[in-house]
Chains A and B, each alone.
Chain A
Amino acid sequence: MTSSHTIHRGDLAKTSASGRNVSDLVFKNLAMFFAALILVLIVVMVAEMWNSSALSREKFGLSFLTRSIWDPVREEYGALPFIYGTLVSSTLALIIALPLSLGIAIFLSEITPPWLERPVSFFVELLAGIPSIVYGIWGFFVLVPWIRSDIEPILSSSLGFIPLFRGAPYGIGMLAAGLILSIMVLPIISSISRDVLKAVPRAQKEAALALGSTRWEATKIALSYSRSGIIGALILGLGRALGETMAVTMVIGNRPTISASLFEPGYTMASVLANEFTEATSQMYLSALIEIALVLFVITIIVNSFARLLVWSVTKHGDAARRQ
């Protein structure tokens, strides 16, 4: 791959240096212009949100992130309940989705014969293709009633001594949001984990098997070998869960409170934007909402960059190991 790139780059340099082909240079620069547009787009996005949130940034400063008051009537705003709701619902989703995703990844990379692997991974990827809004109405009309009538009573009677599982079974609330999010992040985490597991050099597993370990013990060695890639997959799933809007908005209850119980309604950064943006009547209200969007943007950028770097480093490592 590397050698091939040098061939055509060298070729290009030669033609443009001799001035024989101006159109080549034009084409390259045109392509480069569009690539640069993507950089410009990100800069413009940040600048737009930074400028439009000036009112709220100047009035509340950094305390915007730590205040838990949200009162449009008195023009007092703080983002803490939304940050809390976003983090709790996403964490809950990851806790539910991680074991399942790992199971699927192991199933697809280690166990299934190829004829079964394609349909199963197709079905799991179909889950990723279902629009958020369809998850939303399904969650609202099917999942929430089920949580209210079955899951929450069972949880509170068996685990009610933990504050997390106390309170009236509303159905809508943090638990519903976490469950629906876990279904939505499952395809991402499992498909990347599968790829990472497949990148483990065969020699690793064969060595373990040759030493007399069972297939599961060999799988465990593959798992520990690809640990950082799986963490990357998990963080990519987190990035998706943090910004998920419609499905969460329809099942979380949309109340800006911080409570220990998962049964209580909550609110997330994305869902407050979806719900209140068109109702924002004053400049300060709008500015506060845009600042929430900015905070959400920055958080997801950090989370995604971190995850990308992890996944990149692992798959490169895998490629290198295979070539040896």
Chain B
Amino acid sequence: MVMQPADNNGMSFRFYWRKSKSITMYMLSGLSALIAIIPLVLIFYYTLSLGLSAINWDFFTQLPKPVGESGGGLANAIVGTLILVGLGSCISLPVGIMAGIYLSEFGNNPFGMGVRFLTDVLNGVPSIVTGVVAYTMIVIPMGHFSAYAGGVALAILMIPTITRTTEEMLKTVPQSYREAALALGISRWKTSLRIVVRTAMGGIITGIMLAVARAAGETAPLLFTALNNRFWHTSLDQPIASLTVFIYNYGVSPFDDWIAQAWAGALVLMLMILVLSIAVRIATRSRYEER
């Protein structure tokens, strides 16, 4: 009360210094979360403000107009993206889901570990490389660019995502479900498909939607597989337009109305992906709350 010992003063100074350092570091880490959100806001702001002006009914219903003519739309590119993603899904869904079932239900062995590891590695392969592989595997033997080649390139990208999320989702199914089904004399494969897979269906669909969203936004694997097409495609054997390749071609072009359409395309693409992400978010949230 009367006099503070000298070393006690030193202690409290050190204590406050450490305390304020702790608070500063925590504030810095909160700041970095804020900084990370700035580009997100800026990207949304610019795509909205620059893209909205070029969005109208024609954008969704018309073919691209030649240079110099104003108006026109990217209807063929929107349909093309849907077709390419559809083709990719047709190839990747059976492979991804079955491989995921294998990893979860039978994969507790060295082979399963190997597949799991390589699936993760495949997930990290640059998308442009899958384009090169689809080019040498399909475009060169066929002699021309085609929607099929684009679909295969996208499928290679989708397989790892679908496989790993299917596996993770099946693993969340309680073991007692499997045991109960087996105890009732249901065969193993029916247990897997009708009990385990059906229970985890919501999660598996979430994984599929994530893979679809990722594939819909890919440009690099399509550049030299599906190429591009300014008209409606006549068959899957032919080059096909896609939203992303159009955004690229129009974005680097010197014409203002093309650039505006590139922004509009980016806006449509972002909205598609945003809707998918939010749907996924809602789906997973309700599942977490159930547990």
Contact = CB atoms under 8 A, between A and B. Distances in A.
**Same complex origin of A and B:** yes
Given A12-B188, A38-B122, A104-B33, A216 B127 contact: no
A138 interface: yes
Nearest to A184: B39
B6 to A, nearest CB: 21
Contacts of B198: none
B136 A131 contact: no
A124 interface: yes
Given A27-B188, A108-B33, A290 B219 contact: no
A37 B108 CA distance: 18
A31 B106 contact: yes
A227 to B, nearest CB: 17
Contacts of B277: 125-126, 129
Interface residues of A, number: 96
B10 interface: no
A107 interface: yes
B26 interface: yes
Contact of B219 (A32, A49, A246): A246
B132 A49 contact: yes
Given A35-B103, A100-B35, A296-B129, A127 B40 contact: yes
A132 B221 CA distance: 12
Interface string A27-39: 1101111111111
A280 B43 CA distance: 34
A186 interface: yes
A124 B43 contact: no
B290 to A, nearest CB: 16
B220 A132 contact: yes
A226 interface: no
B125 A308 contact: no
Contacts of B193: 27
A296 B118 contact: no
Interface centre among A34, A52, A101, A219 (most CB of B within 10 A): A34
Interface stretch (B65-73, B200-208, B229-237, B244-252): B244-252
Contact of B220 (A36, A104, A246): A246
A137 B219 CA distance: 13
B263 A137 contact: yes
A239 B124 contact: yes
A24 B190 CA distance: 8
A11 B273 CA distance: 43
A275 B25 CA distance: 44
Given A101-B32, A110-B26, 18 more contacts: A5-B108, A7-B175, A8-B182, A24-B188, A24-B189, A27-B188, A35-B112, A38-B118, A44-B137, A126-B277, A130-B273, A131-B273, A132-B127, A132-B219, A215-B26, A245-B219, A274-B220, A278-B223
11 contacts: A8-B188, A24-B189, A31-B105, A33-B98, A34-B95, A38-B122, A134-B247, A138-B47, A236-B124, A293-B133, A305-B121
Interface of A: 4-5, 7-9, 11-12, 15, 21, 23-24, 26-28, 30-39, 41-42, 44-45, 48-49, 51-52, 99-104, 106-108, 110-111, 120, 122-127, 129-138, 140-142, 183, 186, 190, 214-217, 219, 236, 239-240, 242-246, 250, 270, 273-274, 277-278, 289-290, 293, 296-297, 300-301, 303-305, 308
Interface of B: 18-19, 21-23, 25-26, 28-33, 35-37, 39-40, 42-43, 46-47, 50, 94-95, 98-99, 101-103, 105-108, 111-112, 114-115, 117-133, 135-137, 140, 156, 159-160, 163, 175, 178-179, 182, 187-189, 192-193, 213-214, 216-220, 223-224, 227, 244, 247-248, 251-252, 259, 262-263, 266, 269-270, 273-274, 277, 281
